[in-house]
Structures are given as structure tokens and as C-alpha cells.
Structure 1
Amino acid sequence: MSKFLYGIDFGTTNSALSIYDEEKEEIVDTISIPSLIYFTETKSSIEGDSHIVGENAIEAYLSDGMKGRFIKSIKQILSRTTFTETRIHNRRYNASDLVTLILKDLKEKADKIIGQDCKKAVIGRPVFFDDDNTMKDTLAQTRLQRAAENAGFSEVRFQFEPIGAAFAYEKSITKKERVLVADLGGGTTDFTYLILDPEKVGSKNRKNDMIASGGIYIGGDSLDSAFMWDKGTPYFGKNTQYEATPGKILTVPKSLFANICTWDKMNFFNGLKIKKDIEDYYYYSGNDPKFKNLITLIENNLGYSFFRSIEKTKIELSDQEVSKFAYSNMEIDIDEEISLAQYNSIIEKDINKIEVYLNGFMDLHKINAEEIDCLFLTGGTSMVSAVQNLFKTRFPHIPLNSGDNFKSVAKGLALSGYLFED
């Protein structure tokens, strides 16, 4: 019977699993799903809590009129000490429980392909789950480890995600190279500088080839949040004024709108007090129609469908000069033309933070740009035009390569079996 190893890239936006046959020394298949969970509005009396994972979760959520609980960007909560649990259908789910549902779905799909119950996995992790905070980093990996065990894996090792991407790239080169890998995902941007050698593919000890690793807590979700703040919130009444007392005109607190710019903060609006405050703002604003959009967004759980429109604009501007930022649902109507220059201006602060971190990373580890043979970019956010321009401008003399932006890491993790040789 063949021995198999799974390389698992649990991502903020998408998750992938690559199946490696350790006897044939080859990757059999790679599967990927969106990192999404949808809990239906009502609990199934037969199957317990009714939940759907991945692409089917999107379809079910939209067909059910966006009711129930829809959960995305779960990876973001792994390092958050403030998140302990959430209650769904009178059952408590902690961070590990939610991640387990996605890992279990991937495992079941892969086990069906090989016809076996695989217990062995190399799981990717960002260099820093939360900006070089050791306590939060340990918490995140502990939660991820528990989720893997709950999903049915008894042998687990962890590998930095950009190293996984590097090993996938290593299979394609013909000579030794010094490579700077940038893995730009939904939640983080990670860097690894290492030596790759086609003659070392599958070698048991690669520690001496790893020169430096680092990362920053900025990714595709950060860019979407910036866009939501700049272009989205005005449609939801960010500048709404209300009459606090007769003759005293105030503007609705900006902090209210910060909570619709990131998915995990949407629960902020579930409290009774904030609901009462929103009703009061609306009434004393003279029933401002744009502020009414905020109430519609919250009460009808439209956050995910709205952010899909933002993401569509981001993707189109990766290879176009102009895109439409459009959304029409329940009297929320947006149809605005966005130029690439406008978009780049909106995300400029985040791109600058990535550049500042990269420069500091190279200075800290004494990496001379002239000695780098190749740049390897992976992750969905690496396709953003401003990101591409950052690396082309910073390293004009170095070839820029990329692999499958959604499967490279998983494939490289599956080639990291040497981690079990300790």
C-alpha cells in the first residue's frame, strides 16, 4: 500500500491540499476550495448543525437569501486573543473548531482520491501570524495544530508558507539560484530568502539553505478594507449629519464605519446598544437614505456579497486601466467607474508598508539585491498591479517569476517530507 503525505495550505481566502505519493516520489493531485463556511439558518434535526464548506457555501448562502451565518477569513482569528468562541445553533465554536471544518472537508476529498485515510500532513503557516508577536504566534499555531488533529491528522509538521512556494518553484529550475520569495495572501505578506538547487529536490536536510524569513500582517483583505473605507462607506452614510439636540448638528461617529471595513468586526452590530444608537442616528438625521443603506447592509447580512463586488474591482484592475465598482441589492445602488490610478492611490499606504518592511528585512539580514538571482511571487495578492510594480521597480535587474498563485504553496509543502526525519 502506498504511503501518502498531504501538503496543506490553509489560507485566508482559499485553501489547497496537495497529495504526495512518498513511494513514487510524485504529486498525485492538488485540490483547492474557498476558505468559507456557511451555517444554514435553521439547525438540521438529523445531521446536527447544518454547515456547508467551500464553493458550495457561497451558492447555498446566496440561494438562501443570505440568511444564516456566513464565515470567511477564519485564518485571521487564529492569533486573536479576543476571540474565544462564537455560538451557532446553540453550539459553541472556538477558532480550532471552525478551522477543523475546512481541513476536514479537504481531507475527505483527498482521502476519496487515494482511497485511504491519510494521517500525515505538512501544514503551511505564515512567518508571523500577527506582526512578530510571540504570544499570539504561539496561540495561532496551537489552534491550527488542534484543528489538524481534530480533522484526523495524527502526524503533523509545520512549514513556512513562502518556503513551500520556493520548493514548488525549485522543481522548475535547472541550476542553483538565490531566490527571494514573496507570498502575498489574503492576510499576510511573507518573505523568504533561500538557496534553491534542482539537485536537492526532496533532500532530507535543507536547514543550511534557509537564509532569512520574515513577514508583515498586510494582505488582500487589507487592500479591500482600504477600498471599502474610501469608496464604500460614503454610500453607507459615513458623512451623515444628525441633530443631537435642537440646533446642534453633529456627524455620525467615523468609528461606526470602521466596523464594516473588515469582515470579522461585523459582529459589532449585534449588540442591543449599538442597534439602538443606529436607529437614533437614522431618526435624528431625518431618515438619511445613505444611512438607511447601512441599516440594510447590517440587517440583511449583505457584507459578503458587497465585498465580492470590491474584490471583482480589484481583480479587474490587475490587468485593466478602468473598472466598474458596481453593486445593486435591496435599494443599495452603486455604479462608479474606478481608474487604476484611483485604486493605487487608495491602497498606497499598504503598499508602502510592504515596501518599508521589505527594505528593513533586507537590511536586517544583510541581503544584497545584486546577489539575488530570482524573485518568486505567489499568492492571489501578488497579481495586484501596484504589487507587481513595487517589485519591478525595487529589483529592475532581477527576473520576476510566479507559479500557480493558489496551489504553489500546497505543492511545495507536500515536497517538505524531510520535516518528518527528526
Structure 2
Amino acid sequence: MSHASAPSFCAIDFGTSNSAIAVPAEGGGMRLVALEGEHTTMPTAVFYFVEGRHDADGPPRAFGRAAVAAYVEGADGRLMRSMKSILGSGLIEQTTDVGGGRGVKYSDILAGYLKRLRNTALASGAPGPLNKLVLGRPVFFVDGEPARDAAAQASLEAAAHKVGFDEVHFQFEPIAAAFDFEHQIDREQIVLVADIGGGTSDFSVVRVGPERMNRLDRRDDILANHGVHIAGTDFDRHIELASILREFGYRSFGPERAGSPPREVPSGVYFDLATWHLINTVYSPQRVAELRQMRSFYGNLKHHQRLMTVVEDHLGHELAGRAEGAKIAVSGGGDTVIDLGLVESGLEVALSETVAVQALEADIGRIVQAGREAVAQAGLRPDQINALYFTGGSTGLRFLAEKIAADYPQAQHVRGDRFASVATGLGLHAARLFSQ
């Protein structure tokens, strides 16, 4: 099919942590666009550099993994993440300082990211001009406030129009996630969609079936939705605290002093080192000087020495990355060894699935409860759930998926693409919508 006759539309999963775009494929169907190398998802992140000139698109910026890398490497500028969270808030039309004496509207930051996705898709050979769009949206941008929820969708639609999308439609993310499963069944079913990503764990009870498949308005098929702001980044933090940071003094004690028992070392620096967006605050000269003065607080001076190596050599993000890698390594069961030789030759720490489960027990409990509440809100019993559909990167944790599934022993367990099922489903919807 030539580009002149090819349909020109796309679908975007604009996520809190990662985003993706689907376009018509040669020969029919839809494909996900490779956004960075072979990656079909890109972190929803923009880094504004202090130095550099404006171009036609605005201040000098990096997107996705390049934006995160600029921040981690200490480039002078400002990182913007979780941009989806400002939708429905008063911030959307406010201007924020991005360094270098520059101010940018939050709405323009969001629009610039959407434009990057569209331009990358066009550069990949997608049939232009890609002026028709299906955007994913959560069941609620803002819980319990219909006016703000409507404003959130309107702001996202306005951003899309601003960067060249003439026709914009929305589809609910949990419905999109379930589309793949819907193609595989021959009767109507009730599905609990568990979408557990980097920032939130969301559960939706949806009705799917072959007779509903071609309906463009699926709002009535969402029977309930509930979620909690606990997910992958929280897991990484707890695992880093439970394993890696013990070797740097977390939960350790100071020396014995006459007449008083040893005191626990102050824990603030460890919580900051384990919280991605706070790591750079530990590197400020004032903070480093304060930590250097705390040497006498440590009963094991090796712990203090290792901590100072981390803050002076700016190794915090590397430790956080190794915690995430260890989480993934034990996600299917078994043990792993975390190499910390970048801090001290020969230093390593073991992590078992058992320790990981213990570290995440409270979070897992809250996530499982969120699923139960979604089913209860739908007015259903657990045995009325026909299928569990798992999507989102954190559903790769075996022990988490098993805990959720235990409440629904009669349900079929279905695993979608953990990172791209929503984008794929939105693409299917776009193909149906724009072919009519």
C-alpha cells in the first residue's frame, strides 16, 4: 500500500512512567513504533538544558531515556517526569522555571512530548500526516471530581490539537488492555484488569465479549475501577533499603558510649538515596559536609566510608538501578548477588526472593486489597470474575501476581504484553474507529 492511499492515524498510550505510539503497518494491522533504538516504549520524561539555544520547537531538550541520562549525569537543567499527574490541576496553564532564565507552560511541556512521539513515528515511515489520534485515558484522571476530570481530558486534547492532531478520540486504558483478550474469547466475560506499573497499581472490572468488540463507546463496560499509588518504584526503594543500603549503615548503630546504649544511625540520607527523584539532593555541598561530620555516629566506620564514596562519587542512581535489577532477577524465584564493587572492591550483597517478599509485604497487601475493593465496587463476588488480565511492568513479579490471583481461584489467568498491551489495544481501537 502506498503512503498516498494508506490510512493516516495513530494511537498513543501517554503513561505516567512510559509512553508508546502505534501506527498502521504495511500490509494491514498496527505496529508499535521503535522510539529509542529497539525500545517501543519511552520514559515519559523531558529534560530542559540550561545552556543552548531555542529552536523552532522551543528550549533545548532531551526526551525519554536521554532525558533521564542527562539528569543522572548531573547536566545543568531540570527534569520533568510524571507529567500526566498535572492534568486536571491548576498547574496546567502555569509557567514553570526550567533554568537559564527560561519559563515554560506545563501544557507546552506536555504538548512537546506528544509532538516528539508523532515526529518519531513519522520518521519511522508511518504514513503521514498522522492527523487522527486515539489517546488512552484512565477511568478517572481525578477521583470523585467530574469537573476536574473533564478538564484533564480537555487539556490533553488541546495539547494534541496544538501539535497537529486534527481529530482526537479517547479510549479507556483498561478497556484497551483487555482488547487482546477479547479477540480470543467466544462468549461474554467479566475480566479484572490488573495494571501495575511504575507509579500506580490500578484495577478495573470490565465486561468484554465478541458482541461488544466493535462498539466504539465502551464506557458502560467498565463496571468498577480502583487503585493505589504503590508500584514498581516503591518496590525498588524497599528492596534497596532491605539489602544494598544495609552495607552503608542503614539500620546500623553507633558506638557504645558510657551510660547510654548505642543509638541507631540517622536514616534520612538512606531514604533519600532510595528515592529516585531525591538522590541528587544528597550531592549538594552542604549535605555532603553534614554527612562527613557524622562519622562519629557510626559504630562500623566502614559503613560511613562507603556512604561517603557514594555521595562524593555520585553513585546513588547506580545503586538504585542495581536494586531494580536485583528485583527483576528474583522476580521469578531464586536468589541473586548484587555486585557493589563500584563502591568497594569485592563488596557484594545477596538477595533472595524470600527477603524481597518480606520487604514488599505491606505494599503487596495494599495492592491486593485494591483489587478486592474494585470487585466489591462492581457488586460482584470473587467467584464471578471469569479472567484476570495482567499488564504493566510490575506484574512480572511472580509473588505479586500469585498473591492477587489467590483471591480468584476460578478465574483464567491471562498475561498481556507487560509494557505495551495498552498501546496495542489503543491501536486496535484506532483501526476500527478510523476505518468506519
CA 1:104–1:321 in 2, change beyond 3 Å: closer, same or farther? same
- Tell me what 1:209 maps to: 221
Please state how far the C-alpha of 1:348 moved relative to its aligned partner.
Answer: 0.8
Contact 1:130–1:217 (8 Å) recurs in 2: no
Out of 321, 325, 338, the residue aligned to residue 312 of structure 1 is: 325
Equivalent residue letter for 1:291: H
User: 2: distance between equivalents of 1:195 and 1:396?
Assistant: 19
Quote the sequence identity (%): 27
Q: Deviations over 1:216-267 (max 9, x none)?
A: 1111111112112222332333346679x99997544323322222212335
Matches within 5 A, 1:255-334: 255-269=268-282, 274-282=287-295, 288-331=301-344, 334=347
Contact 2:330–2:353 (8 Å) recurs in 1: yes
SS at match of 1:214: strand
- Tell me what 1:181 maps to: 193
Instruction: Tell whether 2:15 aligns with 1:15.
Output: no
Please state how far the C-alpha of 1:331 moved relative to its aligned partner.
Answer: 3.9
CA 1:95–1:266 in 2, change beyond 3 Å: closer, same or farther? farther
Please state how far the C-alpha of 1:344 moved relative to its aligned partner.
Answer: 0.9
Equivalent residue letter for 1:106: L
CA 1:356–1:130 in 2, change beyond 3 Å: closer, same or farther? farther
- Tell me what 2:37 maps to: none
Instruction: Tell whether 2:77 aligns with 1:74.
Output: no
Matches within 5 A, 1:20-59: 20=24, 26-31=29-34, 32-35=40-43, 37=45, 39=47, 43-44=51-52, 50-55=60-65
CA 1:69–1:230 in 2, change beyond 3 Å: closer, same or farther? farther
SS at match of 1:218: coil
When structure 1 is superposed on structure 2, of 291-300 and 259-268 the one drifting more is: 291-300
Q: Deviations over 1:328-365 (max 9, x none)?
A: 32548741121111111111111100112222222232
User: 1: distance between equivalents of 2:196 and 2:368?
Assistant: 13
Please state how far the C-alpha of 1:386 moved relative to its aligned partner.
Answer: 1.5
User: 1: distance between equivalents of 2:216 and 2:46?
Assistant: 40
User: 1: distance between equivalents of 2:331 and 2:339?
Assistant: 17
Please state how far the C-alpha of 1:35 moved relative to its aligned partner.
Answer: 0.3
- Tell me what 2:116 maps to: 105
Q: Deviations over 1:256-289 (max 9, x none)?
A: 3222222123354466754553343247659944
User: 2: distance between equivalents of 1:102 and 1:185?
Assistant: 20
CA 1:238–1:188 in 2, change beyond 3 Å: closer, same or farther? same
Please state how far the C-alpha of 1:398 moved relative to its aligned partner.
Answer: 1.4
SS at match of 1:329: coil
Please state how far the C-alpha of 1:161 moved relative to its aligned partner.
Answer: 2.1
Contact 1:66–1:300 (8 Å) recurs in 2: no
Matches within 5 A, 1:142-181: 144=156, 148=160, 151-181=163-193
Instruction: Tell whether 2:8 aligns with 1:4.
Output: yes
Instruction: Tell whether 2:228 aligns with 1:224.
Output: no
Instruction: Tell whether 2:393 aligns with 1:383.
Output: no
- Structure number with the bigger relative contact order (C-alpha 8 A, sep ≥ 6) is 1
User: 1: distance between equivalents of 2:77 and 2:342?
Assistant: 19
Unaligned runs of 5+ in 1: none
Unaligned runs of 5+ in 2: 35-39
Total equivalences in the alignment: 416
User: 1: distance between equivalents of 2:6 and 2:215?
Assistant: 20
Contact 2:41–2:420 (8 Å) recurs in 1: no
Please state how far the C-alpha of 1:51 moved relative to its aligned partner.
Answer: 3.8
CA 1:398–1:285 in 2, change beyond 3 Å: closer, same or farther? closer
Q: Deviations over 1:179-207 (max 9, x none)?
A: 11111111111111122122433322323
Please state how far the C-alpha of 1:108 moved relative to its aligned partner.
Answer: 1.2
Please state how far the C-alpha of 1:142 moved relative to its aligned partner.
Answer: 6.9
Q: Deviations over 1:291-327 (max 9, x none)?
A: 3444443454433322221121111212231122233
Q: Deviations over 1:150-185 (max 9, x none)?
A: 554454444432222012322333332221111111
When structure 1 is superposed on structure 2, of 376-385 and 254-263 the one drifting more is: 254-263
TM-score, normalisation: structure 1: 0.80
CA 1:301–1:254 in 2, change beyond 3 Å: closer, same or farther? same
- Tell me what 1:373 maps to: 386
Matches within 5 A, 1:86-125: 87-92=98-103, 96=107, 98-112=109-123, 113-125=125-137
TM-score, normalisation: structure 2: 0.78
Contact 1:355–1:390 (8 Å) recurs in 2: yes
Out of 235, 254, 273, the residue aligned to residue 267 of structure 2 is: 254
User: 2: distance between equivalents of 1:324 and 1:154?
Assistant: 52
CA RMSD of aligned residues (A): 4.1
Please state how far the C-alpha of 1:134 moved relative to its aligned partner.
Answer: 7.9
CA 1:223–1:91 in 2, change beyond 3 Å: closer, same or farther? same
CA 1:154–1:175 in 2, change beyond 3 Å: closer, same or farther? same
